[in-house]
Amino acid sequence: MSDYFDRVERQIARRVEQGMPRSARRPSAGGYLAVAAGVLVVIVVAGAFLLARGAGGGANPSPAAAPGASVVFSVSPAAPTAVVERAAAILRERLHAAVPGAQVSVQNDRVIVTPPTGHAAVRSQILALAAPGRLTFYDWEGQVLTPNGKTVGSQLPSPSPAVMDISQGNGSAAPGQLGAGCVPLQQALGLAAEAGARHPRRTEYLGRLKLDLPAGYTVLQAASSSPGRPSDGYFVVRGSPALTSTQIVHPKATTAPGTRIPDVEFGFTTRGRHAFQALSARIARRGSELSGPGQTLNQHFAIALDNQLITVPFIDFKQYPDGINGDLGADIAGNLTSRSAKELTILLRYGPLPVNLTAAG
């Protein structure tokens, strides 16, 4: 005899055997957070590319840097030896996971990596893993500025294309992408300087660029719409990130059951769970308040790695009116290769570097 409880048991047991469906594993940047898949693919490819050049050495090994040659990194900003040693220790851990046999040492406040011999692709891996590795989450509309110095969220709904492009994207670009309301670097720096004129200045790094910015303002590089090409568009955000790498735990490179597409899943610390729930709830509430009959204005959050946007997914306020429970963590999905997923996982697992490392040559 089969009663209700037997039928429930069989249904769930069947799901167990099928493996956790992609959409069930984590509230996902590619699933629940409902980024258009095509956009995410492009963004993540861009992210992978940026990872590869994150240390500033360029994606392609220079002719002088043959496989097996040491890679010398200068440190910025200048830091006490103890801080440089800590950066070297983190880099050592990262490399140990991906390039066994690589030696990391500190000499004259430079970090030197000597790779194992006979490993053809090792330089690009070293460069990828020497990226700062700071993952940040922002309330997109709540923090991103338009050229008039106001946040997008404070102006919605709006007939202004500048506002709507940043918030909702347009026919050719999704939010956060090149072409969706971003501006050239000089204009972004001017906007930040003007909006934060009364704030003290500080130095921030964006790849190889050293930026002079008012405290509390960050310039984010737009996600590229052309895989393999860095974007030359920028956004300015005001305020601190809602979540950072330090609130991420247990990152894991994995593949979606069924599709076998590589992705990176992770959980949140207790504080991170609360922050993620609060962030998504705030965004959902704003989406609900701004939307009316016949017009849905979904609101977004942004995920950036080392101030380079990876993805700007929206929160479906109809499905998650109270935000997304962070208990299940999240994942970054898309057209990651198994290698770039592993590299991103390593960056998240060992935490961000306390300084930036720039490869010579």
Partner 1 sequence: MSRAARATDGDLLTAVVAGDGQAFASFYRRHLPAVVAFLLRETGDREATADLTAEVFAAVFLVARRFRARGAGSARPWVLGIARNKLRESRRRGRIEDRARRRLALEPEILDDEDLLRVDELAAGAELPVLNLVEQLPESQRDAVRSRFVEDRDYDEIARELKCSELVVRQRVSRGLSRLRNQLKEDER
Q: What residues line the site for partner 1 (CB under 8 A)? A: 3-5, 7-9, 11-21, 23-24, 327-328
- Measured from the Cβ of residue 30, the count of other Cβ atoms closer than 10 Å reads 25
Our CB check for partner 1 shows the closer of 17 and 64 to be 17
Q: What is the nearest approach in angstroms of partner 1 to the Cβ of residue 84?
A: 37
Our CB check for partner 1 shows the closer of 92 and 252 to be 252
- Rounded Cα gap, residues 349 and 248, in angstroms: 8
Contact 182, 234 (CB under 8 A): yes
- The number of helices, as runs of H, and strands, as runs of E, in the chain is 10, 16
Q: What is the nearest approach in angstroms of partner 1 to the Cβ of residue 17?
A: 4
Q: What is the nearest approach in angstroms of partner 1 to the Cβ of residue 26?
A: 10
Our CB check for partner 1 shows the closer of 33 and 130 to be 33
Contact 219, 204 (CB under 8 A): yes
Cα–Cα distance list, 223 to 14, 59, 86, 173 (Å): 40, 17, 30, 10
User: What single-letter DSSP state applies at residue 327?
Assistant: G
Our CB check for partner 1 shows the closer of 18 and 226 to be 18
Our CB check for partner 1 shows the closer of 18 and 172 to be 18
Q: What is the nearest approach in angstroms of partner 1 to the Cβ of residue 299?
A: 21
Q: What is the nearest approach in angstroms of partner 1 to the Cβ of residue 19?
A: 5
Our CB check for partner 1 shows the closer of 193 and 328 to be 328
Q: By C-alpha distance, which of 308, 285, 307, 309 is closest to 298?
A: 285
Q: What is the nearest approach in angstroms of partner 1 to the Cβ of residue 276?
A: 15
- Rounded Cα gap, residues 82 and 244, in angstroms: 24
Our CB check for partner 1 shows the closer of 10 and 150 to be 10
* 3-state secondary structure (DSSP) of residue 35: coil
- Rounded Cα gap, residues 50 and 148, in angstroms: 29
Our CB check for partner 1 shows the closer of 25 and 238 to be 25
Q: Which amino acid is at 354?
A: P
- Rounded Cα gap, residues 21 and 175, in angstroms: 27
Q: What is the nearest approach in angstroms of partner 1 to the Cβ of residue 8?
A: 4
Our CB check for partner 1 shows the closer of 112 and 328 to be 328
User: What tokens does 124 get?
Assistant: 């690009």
Q: What is the nearest approach in angstroms of partner 1 to the Cβ of residue 173?
A: 31
* 3-state secondary structure (DSSP) of residue 9: helix
Contact 136, 241 (CB under 8 A): yes
User: What tokens does 252 get?
Assistant: 């894991």
Q: By C-alpha distance, which of 230, 212, 229, 213 is closest to 221?
A: 230
Which residues are registered as beta bridge partners of 212?
203
Contacts of 335 (CB under 8 A, 6+ apart): 40, 41, 42, 44, 45, 261
Q: Which amino acid is at 191?
A: L
- Kindly state the helix (H) or strand (E) to which residue 268 belongs, with its residue range: strand 262-268
Q: What is the nearest approach in angstroms of partner 1 to the Cβ of residue 241?
A: 25
Pairing between β-strand 71-76 and β-strand 110-114 as defined by DSSP bridges:
antiparallel
Our CB check for partner 1 shows the closer of 20 and 36 to be 20
Q: What is the nearest approach in angstroms of partner 1 to the Cβ of residue 27?
A: 9
